[in-house]
Structure 1
Amino acid sequence: MKIISSIQNSYIKDLLKLQDKSRERKKKGLFLVEGQREISLVLKGNYEIDSILFVAEVFSKEKAILLNIPTSKYIEITKEVYQKLAYRDSTEGVIAVVKTKEFKLDNIEFNTPTPLILVLEGIEKPGNLGAMLRTADAAKLDAVFIANPKTDMFNPNIIRSSVGCLFTNQIAVGSSEDVSNFLKNKNIHIYSATLQNSNEYHKNDYTKPTAIAVGTEATGLTQIWRDVATQNINIPMQGEIDSMNVSVAAAILTFEAKRQREFKI
């Protein structure tokens, strides 16, 4: 089994570039995933593992083998090397180098006649995007569409904040035009979270094929989503501010739709 003990190793230097630079992830078609739970979700999501780096004193060879990955992919590293590569403060002693996937609209498949979808347009903060992927997993949504993306989906902040839910959701990425056209062609009702020409979110029926679209906190959804909406919706504010964090708003809207479907209003 290969052992790497120096942070000056050329392979380790290449991996550090993957952590820091989106263009390197796109160029190499690789990204890093840290932690046993997240790696297990990578495997469930049918991603291909390029290699597994582990610290033997922290993450034993026996535990590594339980991941059911060919031993030829294992690389033992020292704590010093691990600490250089690790993105999180917690120490689990294992990092996977994973091959990227393309999130194509054409790959989306619905296993129900009434899918529930979350559309995220132009979300800039990886932490918000990751939090909404976590919500989508918790609600077991049929898909998440990223419209007009502002960051690559393999940003380590997205992986960390989604606690691996990047790998558990069915995801597609495209322009707002392409995503909205896809939804219209599938006869999916679109509910756009915006103040203009909207009604209160709980007054709508989400038991039909439904997509809920949210935009950035600064500018909201673009006109495209206001125009294609079956109904624009809002969450009434009762305090001094007129908006809330987009990930919180997405969770409220998502679980209202889930509530309706459970009780069949």
Structure 2
Amino acid sequence: MKEPKEISSVQNPLVKKILLLKEKSRERIKTGLFIVEGQRELELTQKGGYQIQTILICPEISPTPNNIAFAQYGNPEIIQISKAVYEKIAHRGTTEGILAIAKSKTHSLEKIQFKNQTPLILVAEAPEKPGNIGALLRTADAAAIDAVLIANPKSDLYNPNIIRSSVGCVFTNQIGVGTTEDIIQFLKSNQVQIFGAALTASKNYVDCNFEGATAIVVGTEATGLSEAWLKSSDQNLIIPMQGEIDSMNVSVSAAILIFEAKRQRGL
């Protein structure tokens, strides 16, 4: 392994580039690159089939490059950085002194593939908060569902807050992105039954049959699902509330519905 490059100045052009990738969605979309932090997240990026271009290591925090097997990451460029640089570019301080620049994927609906005839799919319409998106992706990974589809997204998937809150599950899920209309058409063309989480004209979720090809659709906590989803749903469903409020956090609701579907399938 050749001697790695070193960066000690926070004014280095690569440092400025990394900051732009962290802070600007437009820059991530334009370059097709994003930043990933931490050993676990880096490993999940690799397992998800992402191309890792550069790995940055802070020797004061992380083991030296010679003690880490980088071959599994496709022989990326290795750069040692000072602690000052690491603290400048790290999104959080508990990422073991390791960051990387990786190439993003396209998430077109055409690339979604199902392994069987009865896929279980989560659809999130217009999710706004990165923390909620991350939590939905963690739930999807925990249940090992077939795909997560995001309709009319408000943020790109490689927002550092989504990566952090998903604990890297943005890399482990099969994700498709499109408009509400495109996703409805995709589901119908694949003979997937649509269950919309809604307050009106709804059936108790425990009385719904999720054993066939199923899409569970959740909306925002503020406005719920749009009229397009309510009209296209084969069955609206509800989680009965027993307290004073009429809804829960979207990720909690999604988890309840997804694991009920898993229970029905004996999984």
The TM-score range, normalised by the shorter chain, is over 0.9
What amino acid is aligned across from residue 111 of structure 1 in structure 2? K
Pick the aligned partner of 2:45 from 42, 45, 49: 42
Match of 1:206 in 2: 210
2:12 matched residue in structure 1: 9
Corresponding residue for residue 250 of structure 2: 246
The 1:59/1:188 distance shift into structure 2, 3 A limit, reads: same
CA deviation profile, 1:40-80 (whole Å, cap 9, x unmatched): 00001110011000112322213432562355510110111
Identity of aligned residues (%): 56
One of 8, 15, 25 as aligned partner of 2:28: 25
Structure 2: how far apart are the matches of 1:91 and 1:234? Answer: 39
Mark the runs of 5 or more structure 1 residues left unpaired by the alignment.
none
Q: Structure 2 CA distance, aligned partners of 1:91 and 1:43? A: 17
Structure-to-structure mapping, 1:213-232, within 5 angstroms: 213-232=217-236
Paired residues in the alignment total 263
Measure how far apart 1:91 and its partner are: 3.9
Q: Partner letter of residue 253 of structure 1? A: L
State the Cα deviation string for residues 150-194 of structure 1 (Å, max 9, x = none): 111100000000000000000000000000100000000000000
Using the alignment, how far apart are the partners of 2:66 and 2:196 within structure 1? Answer: 50
Which of 51, 56, 80 is 2:54 aligned to?
51
Partner in structure 2 of residue 114 of structure 1: 118
Distance 1:228 1:72, change over 3 A: closer
Q: Distance in 1 between matches of 2:156 and 2:113?
A: 22
C-alpha displacement of 1:29: 1.1
Classify 1:63/1:168 alpha carbon distance in 2 versus 1 (closer, same or farther; 3 Å): farther
Q: Which amino acid aligns with 2:6?
A: I
Post-superposition offset of 1:103: 0.3
What is the letter of the counterpart of residue 37 of structure 1? R
Asked whether the equivalents of residues 2 and 75 of structure 1 are also in contact (C-alpha less than 8 Å), the reply is yes
Q: Secondary structure at the match of 1:31?
A: strand
Whole-Å separation in 2 of the counterparts to 1:58 and 1:89: 10
Measure the CA separation in 1 of the matches of 2:76 and 2:253: 45
State the AA in 2 paired with 1:207: E
Moved segments of 4+, more than 6 Å:
none
Q: List aligned pairs for 1:146-157, cutoff 5 A.
A: 146-157=150-161
- Distance in 1 between residues matched to 2:265 and 2:168, nearest whole Å: 26
Please give the alpha-carbon distance, in whole angstroms, between the structure 2 residues aligned to 1:252 and 1:72. 41
Q: Does 2:78 match 1:77?
A: no
Q: What SS does the corresponding residue of 1:65 show, helix, strand or coil?
A: coil
Give the conservation status (yes or no) of the 8 Å contact 1:207–1:257. Answer: yes
Amino acid at match of 1:137: D
Instruction: Report the alpha carbon displacement of residue 88 of structure 1 after superposing the two structures with TM.
Output: 1.5
The equivalences for 1:175-194 within 5 A come to 175-194=179-198
Q: Aligned partners of 1:178 and 1:215: how far apart in 2?
A: 16
User: How far apart in 1 are the matches of 2:76 and 2:196?
Assistant: 49
Aligned CA RMSD, in angstroms, stands at: 1.2
Contact 2:114-2:146 at 8 Å conserved across structures: yes
Given residue 117 of structure 2, which amino acid in structure 1 is its aligned partner? P
SS of residue paired to 1:57: coil
Q: For 1:213 and 1:203, how far apart are their aligned partners in 2? A: 17
Give the aligned residue type for 2:262: K
Find the aligned partners of 1:140 and 1:146 in 2 and give their Cα distance.
17
